[in-house]
Amino acid sequence: MNRIIFLLLIIISVSSCNPERKQAETKSDNSILKYTARGAFPHDIEAFTEGLLINEGKVIESTGGNHSWIAEVNIQTGTQDKKVTLDKAYFGEGVTILNNKIFQLTWKNKVGFIYDAATYKKIGEFNYEFEGWGMTHDNHHLLVSDGTETIYYLDTLKQQIEKKLTVKENGVNVTKLNELEYIEGFIFANQWETNYILKIDPATGNVVGKLDLTEFARKAKGINPQADVLNGIAYSRETKDLLVTGKYWPLLFVIRLN
- Under 8 Å between Cβ of 252 and 40: yes
Distance CA 112, CA 107 (A): 9
Q: How many CB atoms lie within 10 A of CB 30?
A: 8
Residue 165: exposure state from Cβ atoms within 10 A (0-12, 13-18, ≥19): buried
Tell me the whole-structure pTM to 2 decimals. 0.88
Instruction: Write down the pLDDT at residue 66.
Output: 86
Q: What is the pLDDT of residues 182-237, one digit of tens each?
A: 999 999 999 999 999 999 999 999 999 999 999 999 999 999 999 999 999 999 99
Q: Is the pLDDT of residue 29 over 90?
A: no
Distance CA 41, CA 80 (A): 14
Alpha helices in the chain (DSSP H): 3-16, 214-223
CATH 2.40.128.630 matches 3-257: yes
Instruction: Write down the pLDDT at residue 50.
Output: 98
Residue 32: exposure state from Cβ atoms within 10 A (0-12, 13-18, ≥19): middle
Domain boundaries, the chain: 3-257
Residue length, the chain? 258
